[in-house]
């Protein structure tokens, strides 16, 4: 039983300790790298051809397709681990469930369900539209519902093509939608917040870290509540990270926040109306 509690602690500590380090050390390196510059050149060409809205739509659709292309073979590969990894983990958790800890996990796990996140999406869309009333107010009003729809249908496509089945106690399958939805919904909220208010860099890193902790804890609860196989959760983290990156990039493109190619990065780390990903 001790292992179950140790893993719960690790679900909090690992992102809490690693995400700030990764954000501080790698963000600027990624922003100034050759790949980022090539992306900026491609995005500049798309924007010139289709305008910001058209370019953002291309980014979103092509990005979602690329996520499916990457996560499809990954799902097929980890499906082969089911008898060797997922079944032993499931059996161990099932044999070591404790009443009070089960109640805690069943209370936390629904955070990633569609119903509560629908309300989060609606409230965030309206709230940011009001906050953006003097600028392109329609961007958050479209972006928030769109992220919900894109995640749902992209996940559904992957679940159909991989078709790996589910645990005997629930219908959860690859990739974990709960993990992906939490990351996608609150990740989009976070980027809209960063584009709305002057958030210092350290605070922004703290918010990203808090989101990472929430996502890892959600994954832990999905395993403990026997809603998903272990590898479903890892797949959900990977899938959600990629798709959230696509959504964030689409928002930055439509709002004109992507730095033009060939221009130097903003040296001021606390310039809050810009993100560190090349805006």
pLDDT in tens, the chain (279 residues): 678 899 999 999 999 999 998 887 776 666 667 778 888 899 999 999 999 999 999 999 999 999 999 999 999 999 999 999 999 999 999 998 888 999 999 999 999 999 999 999 999 999 999 999 988 899 999 999 999 999 999 999 999 999 898 999 999 999 999 999 999 999 999 999 999 999 999 999 999 999 999 999 999 999 999 999 999 999 999 999 999 999 999 999 999 998 888 777 655 444 444 443 343
pTM of the model: 0.91
Cis peptide before 175 (omega within 30 of 0): yes
Name which of 6, 147, 133, 142 is nearest 155 in CA terms: 147
Please indicate, yes or no, if residue 195 is contained in any of the structural domains.
Answer: yes
Separation between Cα atoms, residue 64 and residue 11, nearest integer Å: 27
Hunting for tokens 């060797």 — which residue is that?
84
Parent domain of 79: 48-254
Could you tell me if residue 61 is inside a domain? Answer: yes
In a domain? residue 69: yes
Is residue 25, in this structure, part of any structural domain at all?
no
DSSP annotation of 86: I
Based on the structure, what is the number of domains in the chain?
1
266 DSSP assignment: P
Is 41 among the domain residues? Answer: no
Residue 8 domain-assigned (yes or no): no
Tokens 């909090």 correspond to: 12
* Residue 9 φ/ψ, nearest 5 degrees: -65, -40
The answer for residues whose C-beta is within 8 angstroms of residue 230's C-beta and 6 or more apart is: 85, 86, 89, 90, 223
- Asked whether residue 275 is domain-assigned, the answer is no
Residues 6+ apart with CB under 8 A from 29: none
Q: How far is CA 57 from the centre of its chain?
A: 18
Does 158 map to a domain?
Answer: yes
- The token duo for 210 is 């808090």
């Amino acid at each position: 039983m001790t292992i179950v509690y140790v893993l719960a602690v690790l679900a909090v500590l690992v992102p809490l300790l690693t995400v700030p380090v990764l954000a501080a050390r790698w963000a600027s390196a990624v922003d100034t790298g050759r790949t980022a510059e090539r992306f900026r050149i491609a995005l500049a060409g798309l924007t010139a051809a289709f305008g910001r809205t058209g370019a953002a739509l291309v980014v979103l659709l092509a990005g979602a397709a690329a996520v499916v292309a990457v996560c499809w073979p990954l799902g097929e590969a980890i499906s082969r681990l089911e008898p060797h990894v997922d079944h032993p983990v499931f059996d161990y958790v099932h044999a070591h469930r404790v009443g009070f800890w089960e109640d805690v996990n069943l209370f936390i796990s629904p955070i990633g369900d569609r119903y509560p996140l629908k309300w989060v999406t609606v409230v965030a869309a309206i709230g940011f539209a009001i906050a953006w009333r003097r600028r392109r107010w329609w961007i958050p009003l479209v972006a928030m519902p769109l992220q919900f729809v894109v995640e749902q249908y992209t996940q559904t496509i992957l679940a159909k093509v991989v078709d790996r089945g589910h645990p005997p106690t629930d219908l959860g399958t690859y990739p974990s939608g709960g993990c992906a939805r939490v990351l996608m919904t609150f990740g989009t909220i976070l980027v809209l917040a960063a584009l709305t208010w002057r958030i210092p860099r350290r605070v922004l890193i703290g918010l990203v870290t808090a989101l990472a902790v929430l996502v890892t804890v959600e994954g832990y609860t999905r395993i403990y509540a026997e809603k998903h196989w272990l590898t479903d959760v890892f797949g959900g983290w990977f899938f959600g990270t990629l798709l959230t990156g696509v959504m964030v990039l689409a928002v930055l493109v439509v709002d004109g926040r992507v730095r033009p190619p060939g221009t130097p990065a903003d040296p001021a780390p606390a310039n809050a109306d810009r993100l560190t990903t090349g805006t």
